[in-house]
Amino acid sequence: MIITGIRGIPARHGGFETFAEDLSRFLIDRGWKVIVYCQETGKGGLYHSDWQGIQCIHIPVPKLGTLSSIIFDVKSIIHSIRYNNSVILTLGYNTAVFNLLYRLKGKYNVINMDGIEWKRQKWGIGAKLWLRLNEQFACWFGNHLIADHPYISDHLAGQAARKKISTIPYGAHEIIQADVSIINRYNLKKDKYAILVARAEPENSILEIVTAFSLQKYEAKLVVLGDYKPEENTYHEEVMTAAGSEVVFLGAIYDAAKVDALRFFARFYIHGHQVGGTNPSLVEALGAGNAILAHDNKFNRWVAQDGAVYFHDIASAANFIQRLFIDDIIIAKLKNAAKERFRKKFQLNQILSHYEQLLLNGFKKK
């Protein structure tokens, strides 16, 4: 089985990489041979490495922004065609036009369609057109499509047959304990902070959340995880300028034990994503048993259900933040609902087993 479309493993970039890592290890333990293509910055030829029994194929590409990913995807597709009797799992549809090569070569290609990428605020008109076209190409060229959310399935059904689409959300590890000494190193105290884990982009409501939190003083902190470069990014600068003294930016943290502990001991988690399907960070919050304050949209409401309260603007976010810091009853209610929702719908092994079955079906149809 071959995984393409991501930066690589071990995970250092986001939800797709974390999922690819979890799926790869799951399949290896069940006797599969797994190949993952990994994007590197630089010059030279591709090279191989082994990580926990997974074959990693590293492809160096120049540092050219979005173009780098396009070059990497094309090289990955061309190289992966040489492997016989393999099913391809493509994570994302951003360069789906090149998946035509898989079709022409008779390769069975399963495409995880991610969110409705072309609707994201960060893209200009040209990028949105490119992504919209590639969404359609994925529906044409993919042998099977995976939607991570029922509303994504409904969206795709206007472009592809329902029988070609499977709805499989993301899963996560349940966190039932963590090392409290980790949060002590960050000068944090259990139940005395809220946490926000997201890429620093406008569609994730970072500015609104930070502004809402900073409207008044608390004997608590807002911990923000993510890579912020105010000297390079105007939006990052706006967020950090709006932040009061109780907002703490810890940077991008990829150590799972540290992130688990920061989630586990938080009083509540704030999720501002406005666009997408089942966001892995929200599922991880459910798995940590977090009380949740989430942006009010159909995607988040389906995922968290009664495990969250929902805000729609700065004022409503500020009101909920104040309430969640003082109301122990609602915190307990949300935590219990989050755990129940997670155990019912998002347990990782159940999700990965669904993927395995879908991939096995691909071998049968080859």
Structure confidence at residue 366 (pLDDT) = 60
DSSP3 helix / strand / coil % (the chain, rounded to 5): 45, 20, 35
Residues 219-258 have pLDDT tens digits of 999 999 999 999 999 999 999 999 999 999 999 998 989 9
Report percent pLDDT > 70 for the chain. Answer: 99
Residues 343-352 have pLDDT tens digits of 999 999 999 9
- 15 pLDDT tier (thresholds 50, 70, 90): confident
Structure confidence at residue 13 (pLDDT) = 58
Helix (H) / strand (E) element for 283: namely helix 280-287
Examine the pLDDT at 181 and tell me if it is beyond 90: yes
Task: Say which residues have a Cβ less than 8 Å from residue 178's Cβ, sequence separation at least 6.
Answer: 257, 260, 261, 263, 264, 265
Helix (H) / strand (E) element for 362: namely helix 348-365
Examine the pLDDT at 172 and tell me if it is beyond 80: yes
